[in-house]
């Protein structure tokens, strides 16, 4: 049984961590020439299909998840909660005139806030392929879903060592003063439900869903689904266990044999 990981770029952090922990190799064309096609390919964020085999996260689904406009349309068709969106600059300008803050997404395929511009009423709206209404949130979560179940939830928490004026409360990423935490969380059901719905709508086997939550309205919105999440510590073990439990050929010992050096 030939099982490989195919990362979106040469050994992305999450793929490298899982591969080293599980003792499985990266998919390469050289291996195909030497050993033939693979049986199972764990796809870590790659949107094009290069090899023959059963994909965990098919590339076409990853392509939809990676494109903010495609995923917004799919979420709309499946009732996944998300911010209002438009590709029409005129409509976005009307939102501004009514007092809404608008998020201009200048890049459709980006993460960690790249290409994202927040525009307040009275400010000039830049040209962009996608605009969304900014939705006020109290908390932001990352919900990890695999094979139809929530396997882990993290909440974005402010880094206390970061000065007040350096913290961005609207775009919450590491650069803006935020880290992931999981201990002692009480997670609203709408957050976990939205995570499962988002991954299912995109036809993914696994994904890490970023979700904003407003406790005053008990409402949440999905921002994006990450198909190549970073893994370390507890999250690495959680993903490894999810693959073991849900892929019979892995549970049968393929991972274990490779970790022990048995081919």
SS (H, E, C) 173-216: CHHHCEEEECCCCCCCHHHHHHHHHHHHHCCCCEEEEEEEEECC
pLDDT, average across residues 125-152: 94
Residues 19, 24: Cα–Cα separation, whole Å: 5
Which tens digit of pLDDT belongs to each residue from 158-175? 655 656 555 565 555 555
Q: Is residue 242 pLDDT above 90, yes or no?
A: yes
CATH number of 67-82+135-226: 3.30.470.20
Q: If we measure between CA atoms, which residue out of 51, 86, 69, 71 comes closest to residue 207? A: 71
Q: Is residue 252 pLDDT above 60, yes or no?
A: no
Q: If we measure between CA atoms, which residue out of 197, 191, 196, 210 comes closest to residue 74? A: 197
What burial class does residue 29 get, using C-beta atoms within 10 Å of its C-beta: 0-12 exposed, 13-18 middle, 19+ buried? exposed
Beta bridge partners of 118: 103
Supply the pTM of this predicted model: 0.85
Which tens digit of pLDDT belongs to each residue from 21-69? 988 889 988 888 887 888 899 999 999 999 988 899 999 999 999 999 9
- Packed helices 68-78 and 59-66: angle between N→C axes, nearest 10 degrees: 100
Every domain of the chain and the residues it spans: 3-57+236-259, 67-82+135-226, 85-133
Residues 158, 168: Cα–Cα separation, whole Å: 9
């Amino acid at each position: 049984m030939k099982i490989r990981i195919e990362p979106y770029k040469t050994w992305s952090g999450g793929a490298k961590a899982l591969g080293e922990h599980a003792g499985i190799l990266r998919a390469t064309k050289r291996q195909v020439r030497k050993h033939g096609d693979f049986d199972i390919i764990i796809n870590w964020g790659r949107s094009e299909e290069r090899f023959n085999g059963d994909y965990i996260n098919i590339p076409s689904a990853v392509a939809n998840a990676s494109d903010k406009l495609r995923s917004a349309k799919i979420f709309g068709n499946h009732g996944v909660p998300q911010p209002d969106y438009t590709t029409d600059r005129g409509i976005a300008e009307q939102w501004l005139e009514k007092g809404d803050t608008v998020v201009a997404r200048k890049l459709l395929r980006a993460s960690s806030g790249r290409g994202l511009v927040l525009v307040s009423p009275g400010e000039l709206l830049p040209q962009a392929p996608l605009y969304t209404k900014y939705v006020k949130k109290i908390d932001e979560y990352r919900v990890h879903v695999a094979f139809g179940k929530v396997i882990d939830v993290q909440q974005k928490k402010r880094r206390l060592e970061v000065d007040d004026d350096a913290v961005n409360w609207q775009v919450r990423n590491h650069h803006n003063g935020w880290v992931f935490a999981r201990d002692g969380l009480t997670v609203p059901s709408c957050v976990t439900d939205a995570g499962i719905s988002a991954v299912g709508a995109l036809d993914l086997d696994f994904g890490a869903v970023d979700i904003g939550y407003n406790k005053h309205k008990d409402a949440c919105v999905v921002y994006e689904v990450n198909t190549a999440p970073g893994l370390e510590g507890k999250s690495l073990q959680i993903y490894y266990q999810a693959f073991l439990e849900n892929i019979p050929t892995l549970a049968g010992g393929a991972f274990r044999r490779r970790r022990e050096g048995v081919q």
